[in-house]
A and B are shown apart, each in its own frame.
Chain A
Amino acid sequence: MSSSKSTFDEDEVLHELKHYLPAQMPLKDFVHHNTLHSFQDKPFYTALQQASEIFGYNTTLSIEEYRDMYLHEHIEKSILDKIIIDEKGEENFHIWKEKVLNQSYQKPNETKVGRLRNKWKDAYQIDLNAGTRPSLFRILNAYFDQGISIWQFPTDEYGLLGSIKAVEKNSFVSFFKTNRAKKMLLSEKIPTITELLKILVGNDQTLYKQYLYDQQFMHTGWSGMVSTLEQNPHGLLDKKPATLKDLIILELLLEIDALDAELGKNWLPLSEKINIPTLSDIHDFSTDNQEYYQIIKIWQDAFEWSYYDGVLGGLKAHKEKEAKSKEKSFQALFCIDDRECSMRRYLETVDENCETFGVPGFFGVPFWYKPLGGKSYIKLCPVPINPKHLICEIDDHRERRKKDVYLSQHTHRLFRGWVIVNTFGFLSIFKLFWNMFRPSLKLATVSSLKHTSQVSHYTIENKNISDQENGYQIGFTIDEMAVLVENLLRNIGFIENFAKLVYIVGHGATSVNNPHYAAYDCGACSGRPGSINARVFCYMANHSKVREKLLEKNIIIPDTTQFIPAIHDTTRDEFQFYDDVVELSEENKKLHHHNKKIFMQSSDKNSKERACYFDTIDVKQKEKNIHKILKKRSVSLFEPRPELNHANDALCIVARRQLSKDLFLNRRSFLNSYNYSTDLDGIYLFNVLSAAIPVIGGINLEYYFSKVDNHKLGVGTKLSLNVMGLIGVANGIDGDLKTGLPSQMVELHDPVRLMLIIEHKPEVILNTINKSSVLHEWVYNQWINLACFNPYNKLIYVFKNGQFEEYQPIQTIQHIKNIDDFLEHSHDNTHTRIFD
């Protein structure tokens, strides 16, 4: 208890609230991030406990679930034993093992949020939420709406509260039920939060902070949205100025209104009506329940290490094979995305002479993008980067937008609606019929394949430095291009042995009927497909002047080498090459023609591996058939799982491809190419980690939290979702906005933290991590686990308590002889295997 904070500091509490509320952007910009980002300054397990105690989130699986996994050997006995000994010492092993396996524990279920405001029920037998929520949500939704309603909120000139006031002042009908709250809103000076709290809670200012937490965390969706938009007003195209303060004042007014309507004007404030017991500060932590959380920690560690141990063992046991020929048939750069993990493996299997690399999918070229006719810019790089360049689409012969009468708003008008209902409405049944049995890309699908086309052209090259729009430079200069290309190539150690063709493969997804479509595309492109970035990069790398500059930097790209941009659609497992925009030499044309077949063959195989996780598909069919089914599935209206995205992601390997080439990583790993031998001091390693960790760590943790508490930190099932104002989703028409991921995306996910494995000397890695406070926080607070494969002595080290310790893997590694047999019969994703 701190007695020093006896008075209420409005700004400080507002600041705190904004810190803790969810920070998810509107639907169109959905990007993965750590759901508990506000706790990231604390160690992982401390954060889990605190978030659970303050907000009542489930932050881990339940002890029952862990024990169940133990019974099913999903958690290894040997690993569990080792963890217990490590944590509790040899001498206490038996006591703790018994506790871990058999003792019953009560999950602490007292949450700090809600303690005070719930008392309205005791005080007046009144359900305050029922009285305020529907009006509050409806007003907020109407105000922020981006284009669902035909008749929009009359004004947004004066911010949220000001605009409501303006409408209220100039209307015969009121948003409020009674007079007092209305008058307060309309008065010259709108009452402050403190003044309103005095009416509601009473004179005891120590309660105010608690009350506001209780109130705002009753509907984290809307509060989070308002607070996020306050900090990023550009998140909406149709800007709606608003602050969290506005929202709180509005809600307090609505509460007074609801109470007045129910109890008349003369009711006592909450703390005067009933006796409120002393409440500890929201951030004060009890030391109770320590044992419960210790048990949880042991289980979670055992769960994670059951997987990590196998991977590290695999790396150690795996023998690097010398490449048969130095000459590469072609090279391909993919995104580090875990969905490309198996795709790259199949390419390498089908054509043993090819070589693949992994880099973050924006290919090191950050820019804003403006499509032809677009009214705003799209960011095509990771969210934290603020690009200085703008690339515009200039020439486009695509049919860009087809009007769809069924999706347009006219059907909701009265007479136009009448006409449409009696004409098109009648035809809709045929359309539905057709789409159900013959689904195609024609429908309102969101497809990465439509992101760019062979005939699109862009202002990639800047010829005049003064060429600017809204402060952004249009296109890149030759010098800038050379730097970007060089950086990317050096980051991954790809500075020699260029093949004749180098494919730059962005990725994206296809889905229909999916409000979370942005979560399916490339996270490194702010939730957009990576094809335009691929095109921009290829333009640069193919540019003769850029090559001249690179020559000066000792990167020799032969004239015969050409870069071809492509997109890999991860849902359809389809490749689209933008080969028309590169003037291929005759020889390369032939090669390309041959390579296309290799890509096709590999994607058939890849689709089979993916299909093993969909239990509606018979995987014993021919690969080609399975691939067809997957393509159909991607555009099927009634398929809530067109693909499984990052489900099961658990690993990131920053190393040469040779290190992991023959490991079966089960699509669980991000793969970032990096060659320690060209970067002895870890200069490029820093670039690699700075770009990768926040993106993939965010993806991993969003999946983690959406899985362990799908109800509060995730969306729940997507089947009943309603789209609110084009900015979020909710259940029914009166629900709060839902943040996080739907259950269909995470149901197969194993909630483990990401293990980052880097190939370099331990001291170089430590130095690199210590260079940046961001990386430091991720690693030292254990939001990701870190391991090191030292290429010089082939030993494995694990980061623990601020340093690297040598690690001896326990499990024996199994080998796979025939991948098809294996896929058809095994659903095991805990164990890493080696291909023979």
Chain B
Amino acid sequence: MIYLIPILVVLPLIGLIFGLFTSSKTEKQIGLLALIITSLHIILTPITIVYWFFVGNMNLKEIILYKSIEYEFFIDFYFDHVTAVYLWTGSLLTFMVTIYSKYYLHLEKGYKRFFNSMFLFFLGYNIVVLSGNFETMFIGWEILGISSFLLIAFYRDRYLPIKNAMKVFSIYRIGDVGLILTMWLSHHLWHENITFAKMTNEDIVIGHLTSHSILGTSISIFILLAAIVKSAQLPFSSWLARAMEGPSPSSAIFYGSLSVHMGAFLLMRTFPFWENQLVVRIIVGVLGLTTAFISNYIARVQPSIKGQIAYSSSSQIGLMFLEIALGLEYLALFHFMGNAFLRTYQLLIAPSTVAYLIKEQFYTYNEEIKHQENSLYQKIKNSFYVLSIKEWYLDYFMYRFLWLPLKWAGKTFHFIGNPFILSILLAIYIISRILLHNKISFLPAVEQQLPIVYSLFGLMFIVRSFSERYNVFLAFGLIVMSHLWIDLSVSFNQYFTLDHTLIYLSGILVSGLVGFICLFNLKNKNEKLDLTNFHGYAENHKKTNFIFLLATLGLAGFPITTAFLGKDLIFTHIQSEQILITFITSVCFVVDGIATLRIYTRLFLGEYKKELV
């Protein structure tokens, strides 16, 4: 019976695999497939829950992906009351939205793509909800990120959906790093791959925390970072409203109800860990409450229905954070269900609101002049109003602290694109590699600083790639190179054995190679390959589009190549006190995802312009 758990995870995966092979000409095949998969899921879910009810919490250690003396990466599943509630809600809503979308999307271009993205999302959701350790959860977490990108950019020939998909993805990326760092520090704290089941053991947790309280607090803060990003809490709230670009059902399920509650899930899942850290609980509570208020103000002034729903959802999740911090876990779970159901419903019937409110206005409207008094009270009120209209500068904040520095850095490191400098740096890389391989050591004092220098090179490369506007080969190559630097940096840092390097780089290089082949393929077909415009090649080069997307994801370290595992390995080789390297490496991972997906976006999304009639 316990094997129902992996079956629940595998179901959407089966859907996805079959889905990719269905014909895009008829809607029936994929529609039926989606119905079968979600129906099976909604039948198996209650059975699993009933089983759990009788046997209690379950932990299932599934597959060991990698094992060495000091490090083990395994897939682990866990099932408790939090899982039960999230699983049930997710299964139910996905089932209903599937039925809804089967009709609603009739004749829509991208019908098949929608359901495949939905399978992908559902897969990620199940993995996260059922995960038994951070590593497993992280796989799901990444899948959620990419499926969100695909769903927001569903109307891929339009500018705003693409732009907002990129925006949301970039912010998500910060959350992902929160989780990476959590895993990294966890390894150092527990010296093993800790399972959530083990984390419920209070003695073990307290035992570890008393000796490493700073480490413990840091882990909690990184968990919180991942949680606030996914749940649109301050200061990251502005993405949620901007995610409402796809067809209403996807907005409803993914942003209105399921995806956005994943932060709360993460907090509840890890609650036993930070339960006894008062500071953390205070931070979570205060942050939640502040978001509740500020998002609520923004919701109040929103003049569009979806914007209003997004912000009030974010505001309610703020309250959930508070409830969790107060230890009212069951209330939070109940609250989650209510909020998820309500927002799904509201988004699905959003267009009805027009008729309802226009009628309401017709019968209740009172003409009054809104007079402006010249008082301090009025002034404060106005200030709050303007502030809320401007979303409390939250979107600007993202621009100021995420995009602008990147742009600036890209300009600063422009020289790296110069062929001469590029060849020198390449030479340095090769020499270092040879030195490392032959274990030739020169000045040990310099050597200690090398990891930082190399990781800086990695950062410069990736940032430079991000700002490249014309040469796509350069941009793509720089990304691959950046990974090589990071690998080199870590290799110098600790005994990053050759097999680790192989695990990491094999994924990167294969993805890079595939990507280059795709690019050459496009070039051979006489397509323009600059990065200043959106070219929309997805429309006319369907296969290349799909393969290049996979290559992009591989390069960005998604769980489809060994690079994903390698990414984890890299961090285990950075000590918990090496803050600088950690910082640089994590920034690299953030930018890496953004830069690779930017290339994909520019080339394959947007409006395809035909040349001749």
On A, residues with C-beta under 8 Å from B are 27-28, 62-64, 104-107, 134-135, 138-139, 141-142, 144-157, 166-168, 170-175, 237-238, 371, 373-376, 400-401, 404, 406-407, 411-414, 417-418, 420-429, 431-433, 436, 443-446, 512-515, 517, 616, 636-641, 716-726, 730-735, 744, 747
B161-A731 in contact (CB<8A)? yes
Chain B's interface size range is 35 or more
Q: What distance in Å separates the Cβ of B377 from its nearest Cβ neighbour in chain A?
A: 11
9 A-B pairs with least C-beta separation: A425-B342, A425-B338, A145-B303, A171-B382, A719-B247, A412-B312, A428-B345, A429-B341, A172-B383
How long is the Cα–Cα vector from A360 to B563 in the complex, in angstroms? 70
Q: Is B388 an interface residue (CB 8 A)?
A: yes
How long is the Cα–Cα vector from A660 to B533 in the complex, in angstroms? 55
Q: Is B344 an interface residue (CB 8 A)?
A: yes
Q: Within 8 Å CB of B160, what residues of A?
A: 731-732, 734-735
Known: A414-B315, A444-B349, A636-B103. A141 touches B303 (CB 8 A): yes
**A375 (CB) vs chain B CBs: closest residue:** B365
How long is the Cα–Cα vector from A418 to B316 in the complex, in angstroms? 7
Q: Is B164 an interface residue (CB 8 A)?
A: yes
How long is the Cα–Cα vector from A700 to B334 in the complex, in angstroms? 52
B247-A720 in contact (CB<8A)? yes
Q: Is B359 an interface residue (CB 8 A)?
A: yes
How long is the Cα–Cα vector from A725 to B353 in the complex, in angstroms? 11
Q: Within 8 Å CB of B301, what residues of A?
A: 142, 149-151
Q: Is B346 an interface residue (CB 8 A)?
A: yes
Q: Within 8 Å CB of B338, what residues of A?
A: 421-423, 425-426
A173-B390 in contact (CB<8A)? yes
Q: Is B260 an interface residue (CB 8 A)?
A: no
On B, residues with C-beta under 8 Å from A are 92-93, 96, 99-101, 103-108, 154-155, 158, 160-161, 164, 241-242, 244-249, 251, 292-293, 296-297, 299-312, 315-316, 319, 334-335, 337-339, 341-342, 344-346, 348-367, 369-372, 374, 378-383, 385-390, 395, 612-613
Known: A175-B386, A376-B362. 4 other contacts (CB 8 A): A149-B308, A417-B296, A723-B306, A732-B306
Q: Within 8 Å CB of B362, what residues of A?
A: 237, 371, 374-376
A157-B302 in contact (CB<8A)? no
How long is the Cα–Cα vector from A517 to B361 in the complex, in angstroms? 17
A62-B613 in contact (CB<8A)? yes
How long is the Cα–Cα vector from A298 to B348 in the complex, in angstroms? 45
A154-B372 in contact (CB<8A)? yes
6 A-B pairs in the complex with CB atoms less than 8 angstroms apart: A106-B612, A151-B297, A376-B365, A421-B335, A424-B342, A732-B244
How long is the Cα–Cα vector from A147 to B357 in the complex, in angstroms? 7
Q: Within 8 Å CB of B251, what residues of A?
A: 720
Q: Within 8 Å CB of A432, what residues of B?
A: 96, 341, 344-345, 348
Known: A407-B349, A411-B346, A429-B341. A726 touches B312 (CB 8 A): no
How long is the Cα–Cα vector from A407 to B349 in the complex, in angstroms? 8
A142-B613 in contact (CB<8A)? no
B245-A148 in contact (CB<8A)? no
A431-B345 in contact (CB<8A)? yes
- In this complex, the member of B96, B299, B383 whose beta carbon has the largest number of chain A beta carbons within 10 angstroms is B299
How long is the Cα–Cα vector from A695 to B241 in the complex, in angstroms? 39
Q: Taking chain A's interface residues, is the majority helix, strand, or loop, or is none over half, making it mixed? A: loop
Known: A376-B362, A726-B361. A411 touches B312 (CB 8 A): yes
Q: What distance in Å separates the Cβ of A299 from its nearest Cβ neighbour in chain B?
A: 12
How long is the Cα–Cα vector from A744 to B104 in the complex, in angstroms? 11
A170-B379 in contact (CB<8A)? yes
Q: Within 8 Å CB of B103, what residues of A?
A: 616, 636, 638-639
Q: Within 8 Å CB of B366, what residues of A?
A: 375
Q: Within 8 Å CB of B363, what residues of A?
A: 373-375, 400-401
Which of A63, A152, A166, A422 interacts with B335 by CB under 8 Å?
A422
A156-B370 in contact (CB<8A)? yes
**B373 (CB) vs chain A CBs: closest residue:** A170
Q: Within 8 Å CB of B612, what residues of A?
A: 104, 106
A722-B379 in contact (CB<8A)? no
A720-B354 in contact (CB<8A)? no
How long is the Cα–Cα vector from A735 to B374 in the complex, in angstroms? 35
Q: Within 8 Å CB of A436, what residues of B?
A: 96, 99-100
How long is the Cα–Cα vector from A432 to B93 in the complex, in angstroms? 10
**A514 (CB) vs chain B CBs: closest residue:** B351
**B611 (CB) vs chain A CBs: closest residue:** A106
Q: Within 8 Å CB of A514, what residues of B?
A: 351-352, 355
Q: Within 8 Å CB of B371, what residues of A?
A: 155, 157
Which of A27, A105, A157, A731 interacts with B369 by CB under 8 Å?
A157
A411-B342 in contact (CB<8A)? yes
Q: What distance in Å separates the Cβ of A744 from its nearest Cβ neighbour in chain B?
A: 8
Q: What distance in Å separates the Cβ of A61 from its nearest Cβ neighbour in chain B?
A: 11
Q: Within 8 Å CB of A420, what residues of B?
A: 342
B379-A732 in contact (CB<8A)? no
Q: What distance in Å separates the Cβ of A805 from its nearest Cβ neighbour in chain B?
A: 33
How long is the Cα–Cα vector from A190 to B351 in the complex, in angstroms? 39
Q: What distance in Å separates the Cβ of B313 from its nearest Cβ neighbour in chain A?
A: 9
Q: What distance in Å separates the Cβ of B494 from its nearest Cβ neighbour in chain A?
A: 43
How long is the Cα–Cα vector from A104 to B244 in the complex, in angstroms? 41
Q: What distance in Å separates the Cβ of A319 from its nearest Cβ neighbour in chain B?
A: 41
A638-B370 in contact (CB<8A)? no
B379-A172 in contact (CB<8A)? yes
Q: Within 8 Å CB of A238, what residues of B?
A: 361, 365, 367
Q: Within 8 Å CB of A172, what residues of B?
A: 379-380, 383
How long is the Cα–Cα vector from A437 to B399 in the complex, in angstroms? 45
Which of B242, B305, B345, B387 interacts with A148 by CB under 8 Å?
B305
Which of A142, A237, A512 interacts with B365 by CB under 8 Å?
A237
**A724 (CB) vs chain B CBs: closest residue:** B304
- In this complex, the member of B96, B344, B349 whose beta carbon has the largest number of chain A beta carbons within 10 angstroms is B349
B355-A444 in contact (CB<8A)? yes
How long is the Cα–Cα vector from A676 to B449 in the complex, in angstroms? 100
Known: A373-B363, A515-B351, A726-B358. A429 touches B307 (CB 8 A): no
B107-A407 in contact (CB<8A)? no
How long is the Cα–Cα vector from A717 to B335 in the complex, in angstroms? 34
Known: A154-B370, A406-B346, A413-B300. A173 touches B312 (CB 8 A): no
How long is the Cα–Cα vector from A123 to B565 in the complex, in angstroms? 46
Q: What distance in Å separates the Cβ of B545 from its nearest Cβ neighbour in chain A?
A: 21
B341-A171 in contact (CB<8A)? no
**A732 (CB) vs chain B CBs: closest residue:** B245
How long is the Cα–Cα vector from A709 to B312 in the complex, in angstroms? 36
How long is the Cα–Cα vector from A105 to B610 in the complex, in angstroms? 12
A407-B356 in contact (CB<8A)? yes
A154-B381 in contact (CB<8A)? yes
Which of A157, A374, A719, A726 interacts with B105 by CB under 8 Å?
A719
How long is the Cα–Cα vector from A107 to B613 in the complex, in angstroms? 7
**B319 (CB) vs chain A CBs: closest residue:** A418
Q: Within 8 Å CB of A148, what residues of B?
A: 302-305, 308, 353, 357
Q: Within 8 Å CB of B359, what residues of A?
A: 401
Which of B248, B342, B374 interacts with A719 by CB under 8 Å?
B248
Which of B372, B379, B382 interacts with A157 by CB under 8 Å?
B372
A171-B386 in contact (CB<8A)? yes
B613-A106 in contact (CB<8A)? yes
Q: What distance in Å separates the Cβ of B403 from its nearest Cβ neighbour in chain A?
A: 11
Q: Within 8 Å CB of B370, what residues of A?
A: 152-157
How long is the Cα–Cα vector from A106 to B358 in the complex, in angstroms? 47
**A239 (CB) vs chain B CBs: closest residue:** B367
How long is the Cα–Cα vector from A147 to B345 in the complex, in angstroms? 20
A149-B300 in contact (CB<8A)? yes
Q: Within 8 Å CB of A443, what residues of B?
A: 349, 352
B342-A428 in contact (CB<8A)? yes
Known: A636-B103, A725-B303, A731-B158. A406 touches B345 (CB 8 A): yes
Q: Within 8 Å CB of B388, what residues of A?
A: 151
B357-A28 in contact (CB<8A)? no
B241-A733 in contact (CB<8A)? yes
Q: Within 8 Å CB of A106, what residues of B?
A: 612-613
Q: Within 8 Å CB of A63, what residues of B?
A: 613
Q: Within 8 Å CB of B304, what residues of A?
A: 141, 148, 722-725, 730, 733
